[in-house]
Amino acid sequence: MKSFTATKRATIRQTQSVMVNTLFVFSILMLLSLSAYARGAPESFADLAEELSPSVVNITTSTTIAGVTDQARPQIPEGSPFEDLFRDFFNNGEGGQARPRRSSALGSGFVISSDGYIVTNNHVIDKADEIVIEFFDGKELVAKLVGRDPKTDIAVLKVEASEPLPFVGFGDSDVARVGDWVMAIGNPLGQGFSVSAGIISARNRTLRSGPYDDFIQTDAAINRGNSGGPLFNMSGEVIGVNTAIISPNGGSIGLGFSMSSRVVGRVVKQLKEYGETRRGWLGVQIQDIDSDMAEALGLDKVSGALVSGVPEGPGADAGILSGDVIISFDGVEVEDTRGLVTAVGNADVGKVVRVIIFRDGKTKTIKVTLGRREAAEKEKLVPVTKAPEKIKETEKLGMKLLTINSESRIQLNLPEDLEGVAVLDVSETSDAFEKGLRAGDVIVEAGRTKIVDVNDISKIFENAIEAGRKSILLLVLRGDNSRFVGLSLSEK
């Protein structure tokens, strides 16, 4: 009996010991988990701010502004007590001629190398005659412009310092997540060095400021004067350049935008090396695809970039045609035009890339040798075709259409060698009007077929309806720009 009781007690003690050990291990794991969570929400940014502030600079620019002309000069009644004051302000005392004035602006920037290269926004230093850099310790140096890129609003400056400068490096903005902590340092409203913190509110924002928009949205306080300053992650890496805010009153309301380091890093590298950007150029005009276009083209899904024009250049040389849908570029799937523009711009000039297109229900791979966008933008290319002779009109799908002739060319200011059908009027209740067609547009293709007169377009419309198609794809020219429109074949 005693032996049984002793065994029972031993078993109980062993069980209790196991339970205590289990609870202890569980507690440790919970503490580790809470510790990891706490690290995501820092108790203080003080150490990081102290470490990084010496690499951030204030930027002051000076610009000469032409004097006020007689037309712009305010008219002061003769004999007014303010007459002498305004005369002294607007005139230089020599024959009443307008005198030039000096204007100054403030911004921020950050040092990216010990030998004095500095990054800021292009709009901070635009048209500046003199650029003065103020460092955290109060020292000032005059900077020279190395290069700038208006498309991303980035500029690189250079100062000559007597000793190595503290600097920061770029981090990978692509791994930054919505909800991550970030810290901004800059010169808001000219108040000097200031730190603010917040989180990433959104990624991949576009402000329609340029073709390469890729902004990080943050609620960290960003005000005027923060432009050009860095947005840091918690590792002290620059993941964005503070560029813009959305605000009804000019102050921070938690809608700040920083151009991502993914974009800025490549631009800065090129500006340092060449003093200018060198972006790849595919040589095609493109547009996004909607559901009507996808149906008309026979696509399984609404994605890719639709080629609406192919001027002379790399694309034309490689065999890309208007109406092709680019679904892959250099091994990367193309979701829309924004993604394609970014991928092409990031590619090296002269690189041979594989472009997969969708044409007539099949995919095809084309090799293209990329040109340089900056060189292509200096040229203006005009399409080449023949002009029809007869004058014909018709009304289709809410549009009044006219075969182009010599008279209509003059009236609509069209190229002499352009053929197609001119749009004279569009009913405001039609699908054509909703899709943006307007009087003065020229339809040069319908259903992927070139058209010469209204008979062509009428026949194409009728054939598509008989075939049970719900929509038709039109290639529309407006000025120097062409685009595809997916038009419903059912008249309202």
The DSSP-derived string for 192-239 is: -SEEEEEEEEEEEE--SSSTT--EEEE-S---TT-TT-EEE-TTS-EE
Give the domain ranges of the chain: 46-93+100-277, 281-376, 393-488
- Confidence (pTM): 0.68
CATH class of 46-93+100-277: mainly beta
For position 384, what pLDDT does the model report? 37
Give the active site residue among 53, 113, 123, 126. 123
Question: Is the backbone of residue 321 left (phi > 0), alpha (psi -120 to 50) or beta?
Answer: beta
> Cα–Cα distance between 468 and 472 in angstroms, integer?
11
Look up tokens 């204030």; give the residue.
Answer: 58
Domains 281-376 and 393-488 share a fold: yes
Active site residue 180: no
Measured CA to CA, the distance from residue 93 to residue 119 in angstroms comes to 42
> By the 8 A CB rule, do 272 and 117 touch?
yes
Check if 258 is active-site.
no
Closest of 192, 214, 213 to residue 203, by C-alpha: 214
Residues 6+ apart with CB under 8 A from 138: none
Q: How far apart (Å, rounded) are the C-alpha atoms in residues 487 and 32?
A: 60
The one-letter amino acid at 107: G
To 10 degrees, the CA torsion angle through 129, 134, 135, 139?
110
Domain 393-488 classification at class level: mainly beta
Q: Catalytic one among 55, 108, 149, 153?
A: 153
pLDDT tens per residue, the chain (492 residues)?
455 555 556 666 666 665 656 565 555 555 544 444 444 567 899 999 999 999 999 999 987 766 555 555 555 455 555 555 555 555 554 555 555 666 667 899 999 999 999 999 999 999 899 999 999 999 999 999 999 999 999 999 999 999 999 999 999 999 999 999 999 999 888 788 899 999 999 999 988 777 889 999 999 999 888 999 999 999 999 999 999 988 777 777 889 999 999 999 999 999 999 999 999 999 999 999 988 888 888 898 999 999 988 889 999 999 999 899 999 999 999 999 989 999 999 999 999 999 999 998 999 999 999 999 988 887 654 443 333 344 467 888 888 888 887 666 766 777 777 888 888 889 888 888 888 889 888 998 888 888 888 888 888 888 888 888 888 888 898 877 888 888 888 765
Rounded CA-CA distance 414/416 in Å is 6
CA dist 361 and 443 (Å) reads: 23
Copy the structure tokens of residue 479: 């000025």
Nearest to 293 by CA among 474, 449, 481: 474
29-36 contact pairs (CB < 8 A, 24+): none
227 is catalytic: yes
The 10s digit of each residue's pLDDT in 153-177 is 999 999 999 999 999 999 999 999 9
HEC assignment per residue over 346-399: HCCCCCEEEEEEEECCEEEEEEEECEEHHHHCCCCCCCCCCCCCCCCEEEECCE
Q: What is the DSSP pairing of strand 101-111 with strand 117-121? A: antiparallel
Residue-by-residue DSSP string for 308-340: EE--TTHHHHHT--TT-EEEEETTEE--SHHHH
Considering the segment(s) 281-376 as one domain, its CATH architecture is Roll (2.30)
